[in-house]
Amino acid sequence: MTNTGYGIEMKGLRMLKYAVLTTVALLFSAGCKNRESFFNTNKLTYLEKRAPITMAKLAKQTTSGISVIEVNDYAPGLYTDAMTPSPPHADINPGKAFVVFWKKYPHRFVFSHEASYCPLLELPSGAAMCNQFFEGNLGEAELFNNMGRKEKNSFVDILESGHQRVWIRWTYFAVNMNDDSKPRLRGTEDYFGYPNGLMLRRATYQSLMPDNVVGYATDPVELFGVLPAGLEFKDVFQPDVKYKDYLTLTAMDLYSDIRYDIYWDENKNVRRNANDAALEAISKSKGCALVLPFRDGLLFAVFGNASGFPSEKNQLIDHCTPQARGGCGWGVGLWDHWPIGWLNSQTSFWKPGSPYAYSFGSIGQFFVPDGKRISSFANDYPEYCKDMQLNKWTENRIFYVLLGTADDWNEIRSIGKKWLDKGSACTSPDKIKHLR
């Protein structure tokens, strides 16, 4: 049975709808000469990648918490001279970088192409901390050379740009300094940052030479620093009044008062305030921190049992002090092949008058077989690299390191313990956002 009233009503509604749509279309056409002009003035900008900006423009940027932006003219350590040609500098644009910045904190976290994208926790002075990467066993595969600087071998992607969290992924292929045709391993590192000034490093790797010891890495963390161009370590570290030297690198136990401090003086002498037993105790602690105690801020890296570094396999090694157990005995180790490159070399020693920002260090973190320790670096380290059970263990693990700045030593201890005491939950990125 037909409901004629309903049919008339629906017909009327359709006519009204048609009239409204016609009116809107006429108004729209009056405002635009054609369809193309409308779409040209209303581009889908949310689908476009943000273009890189300059460091000068970055200085004017603001954030409500934390943000990351790509820039096209960054140089590590406040270096101002040209970074051309390529090589010796990074390919395409050596000034390319991804800069994380905060609303409440003056430091930055920088992935610089010229610095092989190995991230730098950087203070306003240009002084910075490097946390290293998965360097291939025996030093056979690196990034701190011209091969490692290539965009195809090391690159960065922004996964979240802020304002309440950033997430950056760094992918790299550890390659031989003379030939990058056969990468030894592929590293994947995710970095998460929150408005409280902290960054979480999540690192893992895959061997690309699974039957060769050089396709693995047993030292994912190392404490290196960057000194700004034109400055020396005496300009950025606090002097010791009694000994007339400078506190330069520190390893500390988060769960006791044990500290291992390394001092340098202007005559290239090295002094430490503790012995091998103290560094061993820190290595076996359930949580420790490696620290660069700059005048304008303490830069730290925290890790421990809960974050993937079991104390029975963990060994910290002092590479500065000549008599330190297991170290290389570098003394005052200064190199200017990185973070600004000029030779296809992994070892170019800094000389006074060098125009480059340069690196210094170090205290290394190594994984060793259960029950073993590195006593002689030249003898024990190569031998332990042959342990394929250990190598496979490192490849199948995920490691977490907490990075940040602090005003004093107690703040480092408080933040580090609060993080590691969460147990397995410390590996969740959101667990760092309330640490301070």
Sorted by where each begins, the domain ranges of the chain are: 4-45, 49-432
- Each residue's pLDDT tens digit, 213-225: 999 999 999 999 9
Three-state DSSP state, 16: helix
* CA–CA distance, 236 with 233 (Å, rounded to integer): 5
Are the C-beta atoms of residues 325 and 283 closer than 8 Å to each other?
A: no
Q: Mean pLDDT throughout 27-33?
A: 41
* CA–CA distance, 169 with 307 (Å, rounded to integer): 19
Instruction: Tell me what pLDDT residue 44 has.
Output: 54
pLDDT at 102 over 50: yes
Instruction: Tell me what pLDDT residue 262 has.
Output: 99
- Each residue's pLDDT tens digit, 40-93: 444 556 788 889 999 999 999 999 999 999 999 999 999 999 999 999 999 999
* CA–CA distance, 184 with 187 (Å, rounded to integer): 10
Are the C-beta atoms of residues 334 and 351 closer than 8 Å to each other?
A: no
Tokens 């730290």 map to which residue? 300
What's the helix, strand, coil split of the chain in %, to 5?
25, 30, 45
Global pTM value: 0.89
* CA–CA distance, 165 with 176 (Å, rounded to integer): 35
Specify which residues 402 forms β-bridges with: 200, 302
- Each residue's pLDDT tens digit, 263-319: 999 999 999 999 999 999 999 999 999 999 999 999 999 999 999 999 999 999 999
Are the C-beta atoms of residues 380 and 369 closer than 8 Å to each other?
A: no
Q: What is the DSSP letter of 275?
A: -
Of 226, 290, 232, 233, the residue nearest 263 (C-alpha): 233
Q: Mean pLDDT throughout 233-255?
A: 98
